[in-house]
Structure 1
Amino acid sequence: MNNMPNVKIGVVAVSRDCFPESLSVDRRKALIAAYTKKYGAEHIYECPVCIVESEIHMVQALEDIKKAGCNALCVYLGNFGPEISETLLAKHFDGPKMFCAAAEESGNSLLDGRGDAYCGMLNASYNLQLRNVKAYIPEYPVGDAEDCADMIHEFEPIARAVIALSDLKIISFGPRPMNFLACNAPIKQLYNLGVEIEENSELDLFEAFNKHAGDSRIPEVVADMEKELGAGNKKPEVLEKLAQYELTLKDWVRDHKGYRKYVAIAGKCWPAFQTQFGFVPCYVNSRLTGEGIPVSCEVDIYGCLSEFIGTVVSEDVVTLLDINNSVPKDMYNEEIKGKTDYTLEDTFMGFHCGNTCSRKLAFCEMRNQKIMARALPVEVTNGTLEGDIAPGEITFYRLQSTADNKLRAYIAQGEVLDVRTKSFGSIGVFAIPEMGRFYRHWLIEKGFPHHGAVAFGHFGKSLFEVFKYIGVDVDEIGYNQPAGVRYPTENPWR
């Protein structure tokens, strides 16, 4: 997956001039040693030129970490720290930044070895606010070398996402299908986030697809598809067209990314797509997403953006699913009740036609799209990847711009249960604690569309910090409230 940045965090230690500089020097060395021992040296750089005590030191440190290729910054308070110089360093560094502070080491060193960084973090935070400088501050930002090493490691996916968004282009094709107004996409917030968007017509895509007819690379892509599908290759007659379409998208990305480094796609897949292209694009979407280029369905631009954020945070494949249907009571009683602590209302089925990467499915087959085939010839609805989503931990989440250009989000951690769905498409039985209340009092109440992004693992902590960093008001980041914590709109006599 090469559609994301590599993070290199420059660690700059600071010191107030009335404290011994050696406190910050020794603590910085201990921090770097602890980080390297646990996480390796690939993503970290120790600024050696100075301990920042003044504005001149700030400039020297800034030049050094830029020269070293750092694209993220950790300001480390080895002692109280100079609130002006350290926050100017953050202000003038072009990239995500974090602050953390050294804890005192021993009760035997509280005379000449006390650093007061616990106090210094307050002044640093206040000065950051005065200067309108965004910075990530860990939940408890004071610790020993090992603690601070863990904090820096937790900052990595946050920094990676912030950097990636500043160099992302979303490429979309066509307007949303009719009756999909819920997936509205005001582009103002994309620009506010630093994201570029290129909106194209379906005719542009169709023209490019036709120009790829007979492309010499098609047989190689078909062979790769055959290898991936194995015994699940139930529609071999459509693979050549799918390969032609995959090459079309990849060449479009190559030729249209412009000055941007990273790309995601919001694609059209119905209603006219099948009759004109002669297939459905679900399987190709799944393959590109598996390569780190998320492709959302139904021109869902903010779904595409959400997928990209999850890909970068998790460094893994994601998918986009409908929060689709309830679990039948008989299935719940037979397969879930008594085997887990989940109630019926905690469960639901997440579904899409066939866009989930094969690596995230328990089993899969190339099929036709059942819903579309009810009204169209079967032969133009081939191209979906059907199968149950593999059981395991997940994070269901979405970042959305409302119709009035307000950023809003949700994050909910749960799991895919090891329960056969007995259904079609890329689909799984999901369980999220208190999902019923969350569904009613956040997803419905706040006007979210039916599409949600799924990351395979628990990444709520990182996603929450990413959303905060990029400017989502914390009151607009919803999560599944635990039992006993009432939503503002929840009827207290439920």
Structure 2
Amino acid sequence: MKTTLGLIVGNRSFFPAHLAQSGRAEMLRVLAEEGFDVVALGPEDTLYGSVVTMNDVEKCAALFKQRQSEIDGVLITLPNFGEEKAIANALRLSGLDVPVLVHAFPDDLAKMSIADRRDSFCGKMSTCNNLSQYGIPYTLTSQHTMAPTSAAFRRDLQRFAATCRIVRGLRNARIGVIGARPAAFNTVRFSEKLLEFAGISVETLDLSEVFGQISRLPDTDPRVVAKRDEVAGYVSTRGVPAEALTKMAKLGVVIDEWMAANRLVGTAVQCWTSMEQYFGVVPCTIMSMLSNRLLPSACETDAGGLLAMYALQLASGRPSALVDWNNNYGEDPDKCVLFHCSNLPKDLFAPGAAMDYQAIIAGTVGKENAYGTVVGRLKAAPFTYCRVSTDDLRGEITSYVGEGELTDDPLSTFGGVAVAHIPELQTLLAYICEMGLEHHVAINPAQVGGAVAEAFDKYLGWEVYHHDA
């Protein structure tokens, strides 16, 4: 997941210009080491590739406009005080609407003469002041001034890159909803109009269309044969009837082709209980395989859960899962059990995950119609949890996010399960209940809560409760 940053090098005429030259070179070197592509003025364009005059501003803005489709975010670096108006004007004239990171070089106490003193410490405040006046949102580094080569700044860069990926990915995202909301699941209601207003389009596909397309697929169709082999190779299918595997394969072919035709980044699928009663399998394995391929798939037409999965995936580059906040864990107030039937992606499981039947739903539709879950224990790992919802009455997209640990505490139960440790869990649970939020939550085995919260709040304008803040 390579990220491309537009780079603005600050400079000011009566400050040491050689600092802009060396600072630009140092920053470009660090960005290359951290895996970024860069769009920046060169020394052939302006003095040391910095932005000072209105002529520099116009050159920078024109370059950013020309490369707009490539740029995920902008890094402003201040090797000296910098010309704050020029920086703000360059951003305004470029027309870019991307995250902005403001960085300032630290002064060296051994180099405080007129020839070498930076004053970036002060200049950063002036740059931020002007960006605020221009209505341009921006991100700060974890310390006011930082050496680009420091480990802390490199972490800031990677966190900022995650924020950039979330913002780019969610703006103009296209998601698919397959089937109708199950009648019993009022909890997953959402507003398509609020999502559309935020740039997120929802494409729908009725289950009757899915089943109709499946009915026209012979078992010997090469696409079905290939998908059946893929299903059989995904996890152990011991004891699963061959007929069920073929049904799953056909479902997978139809969903794959619909997603490709509509350029969808993820799906939310009706399961309970139409899929089992009228088709004869659960869709969990196909959904697990999609999520594992970084095409997140959420249960019960939960579009908000899907968007949370997608945001976490954009931040970390790893598959996300959708789970239930499901059980207390003994008497520990900061631990709980996370559960789903499950369609969790294979990459999150400890060794031993296997295909099975959905034990809860089998009591209603029969075991023979409930094959296709992926069950096992999730690996112990740091993780981030996230929820996105639409508040129709207030016309807002709302969210919460936080971090914790998936533990290896003992647990004997069924489905796809994990024990989670979350500091101040009772406060979080009270917030969820007080706000009337859903029982589904997205999880991802990486700690990216800060990047998600900043993307949602500062750059997308969504309401965020950041539990760790």
Deviation of 1:45 (Å): 4.5
**C-alpha contact (below 8 Å) 2:309/2:386 kept by paired residues:** no
1:368 aligns with 2:352: no
Match among 345, 355, 361 for residue 357 of structure 1: 345
1:19 aligns with 2:15: yes
Q: Which moved more, 1:152-161 or 1:102-111?
A: 102-111
Q: Distance in 2 between matches of 1:174 and 1:84?
A: 53
The aligned runs of 1:415-494 (5 Å cut-off) are 415-440=405-430, 442-472=431-461, 476-479=464-467
Tell me which amino acid in the other structure corresponds to 2:55. I
Q: Which residue of 1 aligns with 2:272?
A: 270
1:134 aligns with 2:126: no
1:207 aligns with 2:196: no
**C-alpha contact (below 8 Å) 2:267/2:296 kept by paired residues:** yes
Q: Distance in 2 between matches of 1:457 and 1:70?
A: 25
**C-alpha contact (below 8 Å) 2:111/2:117 kept by paired residues:** no
Q: Deviations over 1:439-477 (max 9, x none)?
A: 12x111122100000010222222222222334467x41
User: TM-score scaled to structure 2, two decimals?
Assistant: 0.90
Q: Which residue of 2 aligns with 1:292?
A: 294
Deviation of 1:319 (Å): 0.2
**C-alpha contact (below 8 Å) 2:167/2:460 kept by paired residues:** no
Q: Distance in 1 between matches of 2:421 and 2:172?
A: 35
**C-alpha contact (below 8 Å) 2:236/2:355 kept by paired residues:** no
**C-alpha contact (below 8 Å) 1:99/1:141 kept by paired residues:** no
Q: Which moved more, 1:124-133 or 1:347-356?
A: 124-133
Tell me which amino acid in the other structure corresponds to 2:465. I
1:252 aligns with 2:253: no
**C-alpha contact (below 8 Å) 1:31/1:149 kept by paired residues:** no
Report the 3-state secondary structure (helix = DSSP H, G, I; strand = E; otherwise coil) of the residue aligned with 2:143.
coil
Q: 1:412 to 1:94 in 2, by over 3 A?
A: closer
Q: Deviations over 1:416-447 (max 9, x none)?
A: 2213432111111222122123212x111122
Deviation of 1:213 (Å): 4.1
Q: 1:231 to 1:187 in 2, by over 3 A?
A: closer
Tell me which amino acid in the other structure corresponds to 2:458. Y
The aligned runs of 1:59-458 (5 Å cut-off) are 59-65=58-64, 67=66, 69-91=70-92, 92-147=95-150, 148-214=153-219, 215-230=221-236, 232=238, 234-257=240-263, 263-327=265-329, 329=330, 344-362=332-350, 363-404=352-393, 405-440=395-430, 442-458=431-447
Unpaired runs of at least 5, structure 2 = none
Q: Deviations over 1:116-160 (max 9, x none)?
A: 222222222222222222222233342122244443332111111
User: TM-score scaled to structure 1, two decimals?
Assistant: 0.86
**C-alpha contact (below 8 Å) 1:161/1:466 kept by paired residues:** yes
Tell me which amino acid in the other structure corresponds to 2:435. K
Deviation of 1:67 (Å): 4.8
Q: Distance in 2 between matches of 1:114 and 1:189?
A: 50
Q: Which residue of 2 aligns with 1:484?
A: none
Report the 3-state secondary structure (helix = DSSP H, G, I; strand = E; otherwise coil) of the residue aligned with 2:229.
helix
**C-alpha contact (below 8 Å) 1:353/1:425 kept by paired residues:** yes
Q: Distance in 2 between matches of 1:67 and 1:233?
A: 58
Deviation of 1:106 (Å): 3.6
Q: Distance in 2 between matches of 1:210 and 1:140?
A: 60
Q: Which residue of 2 aligns with 1:485?
A: none
Deviation of 1:411 (Å): 1.9
Identity %: 22
Q: Distance in 1 between matches of 2:139 and 2:31?
A: 18
Q: Distance in 2 between matches of 1:179 and 1:470?
A: 35
Aligned length, in residue pairs: 455
Give structure 1 regions of 4+ aligned residues with deviation exceeding 6 angstroms. none
Q: Distance in 2 between matches of 1:300 and 1:99?
A: 37
Q: 1:280 to 1:388 in 2, by over 3 A?
A: same
Report the 3-state secondary structure (helix = DSSP H, G, I; strand = E; otherwise coil) of the residue aligned with 2:182.
coil
**C-alpha contact (below 8 Å) 2:78/2:123 kept by paired residues:** yes
Tell me which amino acid in the other structure corresponds to 1:70. I
Tell me which amino acid in the other structure corresponds to 2:306. C
Q: Distance in 1 between matches of 2:111 and 2:101?
A: 30
**C-alpha contact (below 8 Å) 2:401/2:449 kept by paired residues:** yes
Deviation of 1:100 (Å): 1.5
Unpaired runs of at least 5, structure 1 = 330-342, 482-494
What root-mean-square deviation, in Å, do the aligned CA atoms of Structure 1 and Structure 2 show?
2.2
